[in-house]
Amino acid sequence: MGITLRHLNKRYGQFSALDDVSLDFPSGELVALVGPSGCGKTTLLRVIAGLECADAGQVVLHGQDVASVGARERQVGFVFQHYALFRHMTVFENVAFGLRARPRRTRPSEAAIRAKVGELLGLVQLDWLARSYPAELSGGQRQRIALARALAVEPRVLLLDEPFGALDAKVRKELRAWLRRLHDDLHISTIFVTHDQEEALDVADRIVVMNRGRVEQSGSPQAVYDDPANAFVCAFLGAANRLPGTVTADSFLADGASVPLSVAADFAGPALAYVRPHDVVLTPANDSRQGGISVHVRRVVPLGATVRVELASRTGDVLEAQIERDTWRALSIEKGDAAFAIPRAARVFPAR
């Protein structure tokens, strides 16, 4: 069993933070909650943890309805974005805090506490910092100590609210790979909130996309990325060019283009097509295979093995193509050059 949420609602005055949210989280799954600020991600975590009470709905943890169960008894570990470590305590004492705070009848012996803390510090690879204080640690080290403290009470569920949001890009990438490995070892049901779509795609078993308190889509990273349920999900999860145009039968003709693109659509009429940058093919303006969208190059940005090419169409639409460095060199296109942009694949939705 895992976590079951049924018809959760939570309001703050006139603002609806959660609007009829129902989700199932199988045991041992690592799930990412993504969405814009204010969409309800953190509120959902806090309701699961018992730090907030839903106005309506049901939270079931491992088969138990926890409506009347306090946060302390839910066996939920919560890791905050800004660590919330006790500055006056050493690393060892921070990790031991939850064990020492237990009622006397369930509190482990001092020897057991020391053994458990030592094991956890070894697990997060920071046992050599046991006597240090939080102010002496780097941001990445503090985050790992916060995670060790959450694990000390042997939670059945681990909740992480923007766990790497305060860290620089390099450390964040290292820690998300570390978190994935740690989860694979421990198999604790884990839900984490992130604003970083790449982080969600890289780490999670499943992604839940939220907007305005509601669940827009839930599925595997590949399913949500490749087959978005609606225009919001497509635009939010990963970079995408938005092209206005028209759908007729099984084709989409972008404004400013002369050749339609084959698409799967169950409607006809004005539409918006979403095209990933890696699905945009560029050809020189004098290429005989013309038929794409006439554009001019606004900027060329080398990014290691790939190159991002920023484009502008005659209708004023801004596009982006991501191509291999060798392909870019062969094209010999630079800022100010004319070219044609040819979408290879697109998802289309009715224009609103």
pLDDT digits (tens), the chain, 352 positions: 589 999 999 999 999 999 999 999 999 999 999 999 999 999 999 999 999 999 999 999 988 899 888 888 888 888 887 777 889 999 999 999 988 888 888 889 999 999 999 988 988 888 899 999 999 998 888 888 988 888 888 888 999 998 877 677 787 788 788 888 888 888 889 999 998 888 899 999 999 999 999 999 999 999 999 999 999 999 999 889 999 999 998 889 888 777 788 888 888 899 999 999 999 999 988 775 556 788 999 999 999 999 999 999 887 888 999 999 999 999 888 999 999 898 888 899 998 7
Residue 143: CB partners within 8 Å, gap ≥ 6? 79, 83, 163, 164, 167, 175
CATH superfamily of 3-234: P-loop containing nucleotide triphosphate hydrolases (3.40.50.300)
Residue intervals of the chain classified under CATH 2.40.50.140 are 239-350
CA distance 203 to 176: 7
Angstrom distance (rounded) from CA 8 to CA 24: 12
Burial class for 73, CB neighbours closer than 10 Å (0-12, 13-18, 19+): exposed
Q: Cβ distance 1 to 27 under 8 Å? A: yes
Cβ pair 275, 236 in contact under 8 A: no
Tokens read off for 322? 């991501």
Q: What is the CA radius of gyration of the chain?
A: 25
Q: How far is CA 238 from the centre of its chain?
A: 10
Q: Which residue has the tokens 């990325």?
A: 225
Question: Which residues of the chain form CATH 3.40.50.300?
Answer: 3-234
Amino acid at 103: P
Instruction: Kindly report the pTM of this predicted structure.
Output: 0.87
Q: Which fold has domain 239-350?
A: OB fold (Dihydrolipoamide Acetyltransferase, E2P) (2.40.50)
